Chain A
Amino acid sequence: MELLTPDFGTFFWMLVSFIIVLAILAKFGFPALVNMVNERKQYIDDSLKSAREANEKLSHIKEESESILVEARKEQARILKEAMETRTQIVNEAKDKAKAEGGRLLEEARKQIQKEKEDAIRDIRKQVAELSVEVAEKVLRKQLSSEMEQNGMIERMLDEVSDSKK
């Protein structure tokens, strides 16, 4: 049957047309498209990769900055604590010093007072002694106005001396 027998003329024109179409499309048609799609795919993959890397880097930086912040906070706390300690120390020292100074001044004052007191006592004693000697003199003079009394006195005193020598 005619339909089932390939016609040479048709075959010939098919050969010509198809080879030309194939040549043109293989050169100018498909490779441009397919290559572009593959390159775009590559580009998207690369972009995704670099985006992921950038993200990672960013999170890394964030982490780092956070750790720096934490460190800074720690440092701040430490410095504050130290300052507080120093302050307490200084205050204490000052207190101690003041105390010591006060004590010393007090001691000195006491000593001074003691000395003054002793001096005063000594003075008083001296005056008392002088006064008593004067009083005794006056008393003795009054008592030893008679000879007898004078001898009696001497006797008694001699006794006393000898008693004390024994």
Chain B
Amino acid sequence: MKTLRCFGLFLFVCMIGLLPAHANDHESAGEKSTVDVQEIVFGHIRDAYEWHLFTYGDAHVSIPLPVIVYSANTGWHVFSSSHLSHGEEYEGFYIASEGNYAGKVVEKDAQGNEARPFDISITKTALSLMINSLLLVIIMVGVARWYKNRKPSSEAPKGFVGFMEMFVMMIHDDVIVSCVGKDYKRFAPYLLTAFFFIFINNLMGLVPIFPGGGNVTGNIAITLFLALMTFLAVNIFGTKEYWKEIFWPDVPTWLKVPVPFMPVIEMFGIFTKPFALTVRLFANIMAGHAIILSLVSIIFITASLGAVLGTSMTVISVLFSIFMSCLEILVAFIQAYVFTMLSAVFIGLARVHHEEHA
């Protein structure tokens, strides 16, 4: 109860500190600085060639990231994204402001049309992906190091290693072993990696300051890749029974010949499964980011509408943001869990054996 009161007081002080400053900003800047929520939200969710840290007054502080492009005409180009800021052109490349390639690095081809080069720039998403991957590797290898030079008869780990052990074994036993079935050993490393990869990216996405905050698992390329991995695992290791159930399922014959209704539906199912995995993870995380950012934006929109409305809405917005952040932590876990579990279930279904089926 006491902590709650302290917290309320803290929020109040923050608001008092915040509001007059913004009011002054608004007056000095005149009417031009209306808050563009769409730009804020999509600017975050979209990938970017630089990592925008904060804006101080009129100065945008960003970390420039390397742009790596290959143009069919001029070959490889590697340069800092700072050359491209504010629509500048560098070595024939610039960031398109509109059209199909809005926000992407483009060049002009011979006809003068905008063309997209082969682009493997280390964008904000790619960099956060790398940071999070490194973090995951450090955490996991660090945890695994504890087990070196220890015997099964030594004491169980405590603290962080103990927590990670419990976490890993929960996923391993409750999800992988129970869903994949008897030859789970072959798939356990992939599924565990997928879980912790998604989980750490989800969590880091919720951290609002530099190393975190990237919208990694809310990027469809990332989730598409993960779903493809599952797709490959399912279809490469699928048993004969699995393929038989697709092309010659146990249904009345008229559903299979002459018009192969069921095989077509089953074939369709092969591709809808990874598609569902892709979209579920991507949409959940992206929506979470969008909602939190929108709630935070409420503060700045209502601040320009007057002190009373601004103050009350700020309180509501902060409370909602806290609630959403907590919810997103839950979602971060649930989505990683769901992705892993569905992957495990799909793999388990593809590993059917005749005796189990009979």
Please list the residues of chain A having a beta carbon within 8 angstroms of any beta carbon in chain B. 2-15, 17-18, 20-22, 24-26, 28-34, 36-37, 39-40, 42-43
Contacts and interface: CB of A to CB of B under 8 A. Distances in A.
B116 to A, nearest CB: 9
Interface of B: 42, 45-47, 68, 102-104, 118-123, 125-126, 129-130, 133, 136-137, 140-141, 143-144, 147-148, 150, 152-153, 156, 164-165, 168-169, 172, 188-190, 192-193, 196-197, 219-222, 224-226, 229, 286
A6 B220 contact: yes
B152 A34 contact: no
A29 B144 contact: yes
Given A43-B152, A43-B153, A13 B126 contact: yes
Nearest to B121: A9
Chain B interface helix/strand/loop/mixed: helix
A40 B156 contact: yes
Chain A interface helix/strand/loop/mixed: helix
B150 A14 contact: no
Contacts of A12: 120
Contact of A37 (B122, B148, B165): B165
Closest 3 CB pairs of A and B: A26-B189, A6-B221, A39-B152
A26 B194 CA distance: 11
Contact of B140 (A2, A5, A29, A39): A29
Contacts, number: 127
Contact of B220 (A4, A15, A34): A4
A25 B171 CA distance: 15
A39 B156 CA distance: 11
A24 B141 contact: yes
A10 B221 contact: yes
Given A3-B46, A14-B225, A20 B133 contact: yes
Nearest to A36: B147
Contacts of A29: 137, 140-141, 143-144, 193
B286 A3 contact: yes
A93 B118 CA distance: 128
A2 B225 contact: no
B144 A33 contact: yes
